Every structure is written in structure tokens, then in C-alpha cells.
């Protein structure tokens, strides 16, 4: 299993955690539905609820969906967290907006060396989504040796309880899953910037970017 703990197999069917959270975030699965959509008219479904209303509400209150980032908000997940592995400078972050043909703006976020230590540091920029994917990969690969804060342990454990509860409903084994890997996968894909930053800060290592890859010192 290359991506340990991230893709699950059950009855020949692959389920990703993002699909699980789609289920956990759709009131339909605890037996209620809105029709027409956005009308505020709710009906009780005839089907057997897949999850309880309590679990649904628990999931809603335990997570924050990142709100759309506003223009010029200068909000970043990993500000002040990374050092440059090539020269030792701080890694800074900036955003650029590209005007699309339809008039909307697309936001691009880049992390790059400040070159305070070495003015001609060769380290190239890394965009935020790549950095996020590399972080998750680092955590998956190194989970056995990673030291984390008590707060992060507590958050991962709380999240894992919900995962186990849900998976048990579907008779999916959670034996091969690791709380930190599950929590990191969830937060890096679905969490708010604040949660993402706190996840990385809860890992007791100094993260460096070298050759666009993540390592620790
Ligand atoms: Zn550098």
C-alpha cells in the first residue's frame, strides 16, 4: 500500500476519506433532505439513516470549512514555518492573482527563499498545493518517528474517533490507519489555514525546503 492509511479497500471498493467526509457532511445521510435545494424545506427521508444526526452535528462542529479567501487578505497556511534548506534563510510567502477570461480572479500562492543569508540562493519557489501534498507525504512516510505536541495528539485522536465510528458502520477495518496520518490528510485537504498551520507547528521538527522537497533538521 503506497499511500499508507489513505485509501481503503472494502469489498473491492475503494473509499477515500474525502468521500467519507462528503457523507459525513451531507444531512441526507442521517435521514433528512431539503427539497427544493436551498429552499429551507426539510423532509424526513424514508431511507434508513447511514449516520446518526448526533454524529453529523459532531462532525459539523469539529471542523471549519475554509472560507473563500478574499483578494489581498494575505492569509497563508504555512507562513513562518519553513526554512530554506539551501542557504538557511527564512521562507516567505506571497500571493498573485491572475485575471481569467471570464473576469474572475485566480489566486496563486508561492513559498520562496527570502535570500537574506545568500543573495543568489538557487532554491526555487514552491506553490502552496504542492507544499501541502509534500507535507502529507512526509507525514505518511515518517509517522513512526514524528514527535508531536500533546494538543496535536488530542486533535488527531478526536478526529480518529469519528473516523473509526464511521468506518465501523460500514464494516471497514481501521487496523492499518494511523490517527496522525488521517488527521493530517483531512486537515491538509479540507481544513482551514489556521488548522493547517497548527498541524505543522504541532510537529516538533524544523521543516526545510530543499530542491522543492520537504525535509526536517
Ligand atoms: Zn535560500
- List the domain boundaries for the chain: 7-69+128-216
CA 208 / ligand 1 centre spacing (Å): 10
CA 78 / ligand 1 centre spacing (Å): 17
pLDDT per residue as tens digits for the range 10-68 = 334 455 565 666 666 566 555 565 555 566 766 665 555 666 666 666 666 555 444 44
Residue-level pLDDT at 82: 93
Q: For this complex, say whether ipTM is above 0.90.
A: yes
d(CA 49, CA 15): 19
**Among 55-64, 112-121, 166-175, 183-192, the range of highest mean pLDDT:** 112-121
Residue-level pLDDT at 166: 75
Comparing 36 with 146, the larger pLDDT belongs to: 146
pLDDT per residue as tens digits for the range 92-142 = 998 887 777 877 777 788 999 999 999 999 999 999 989 999 999 999 999
Residue-level pLDDT at 49: 60
CA 110 / ligand 1 centre spacing (Å): 14
Residue-level pLDDT at 144: 92
CA 207 / ligand 1 centre spacing (Å): 13
Q: Is the pLDDT reported for residue 203 higher than 80?
A: yes
CA 26 / ligand 1 centre spacing (Å): 45
Comparing 205 with 104, the larger pLDDT belongs to: 205
Query: Which residues hold their Cβ within 5 A of ligand 1, which is an ion?
Result: 84, 86-87, 89, 113, 121, 123
Q: Is the pLDDT reported for residue 214 higher than 70?
A: yes
Residue 94's H or E segment, with its range, is: strand 91-99
CA 86 / ligand 1 centre spacing (Å): 5
Long-range pairs for 52-59 at CB < 8 Å and ≥24 separation? Answer: 55/24, 55/30, 55/162, 55/165, 55/166, 56/24, 56/25, 56/27, 56/29, 56/30, 58/162, 59/21, 59/24, 59/25, 59/162
Amino acid at each position: 500500500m503506497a499511500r499508507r492509511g489513505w485509501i481503503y479497500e472494502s469489498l473491492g471498493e475503494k473509499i477515500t476519506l474525502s468521500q467519507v467526509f462528503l457523507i459525513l457532511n451531507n444531512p441526507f445521510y442521517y435521514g433528512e433532505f431539503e427539497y427544493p435545494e436551498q429552499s429551507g424545506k426539510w423532509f424526513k427521508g424514508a431511507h434508513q439513516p447511514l449516520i446518526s444526526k448526533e454524529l453529523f452535528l459532531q462532525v459539523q462542529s469539529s471542523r471549519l470549512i475554509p472560507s473563500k479567501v478574499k483578494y489581498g487578505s494575505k492569509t497563508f497556511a504555512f507562513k513562518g514555518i519553513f526554512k530554506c534548506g539551501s542557504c538557511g534563510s527564512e521562507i516567505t510567502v506571497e500571493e498573485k492573482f491572475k485575471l481569467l477570461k471570464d473576469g474572475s480572479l485566480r489566486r496563486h500562492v508561492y513559498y520562496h527563499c527570502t535570500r537574506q543569508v545568500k543573495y543568489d540562493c538557487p532554491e526555487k519557489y514552491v506553490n502552496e498545493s504542492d507544499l501541502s501534498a509534500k507535507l502529507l507525504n512526509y507525514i505518511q512516510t515518517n509517522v513512526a518517528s514524528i514527535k508531536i505536541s500533546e494538543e496535536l495528539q488530542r486533535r488527531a485522536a478526536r478526529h480518529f474517533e469519528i473516523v473509526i465510528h464511521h468506518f465501523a458502520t460500514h464494516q471497514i477495518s481501521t487496523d492499518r490507519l494511523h490517527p496522525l496520518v488521517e488527521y493530517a490528510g483531512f486537515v491538509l485537504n479540507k481544513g482551514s489555514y489556521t488548522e493547517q498551520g497548527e498541524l505543522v507547528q504541532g510537529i516538533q521538527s524544523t521543516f526545510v525546503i530543499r530542491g522543492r522537497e520537504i525535509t526536517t533538521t
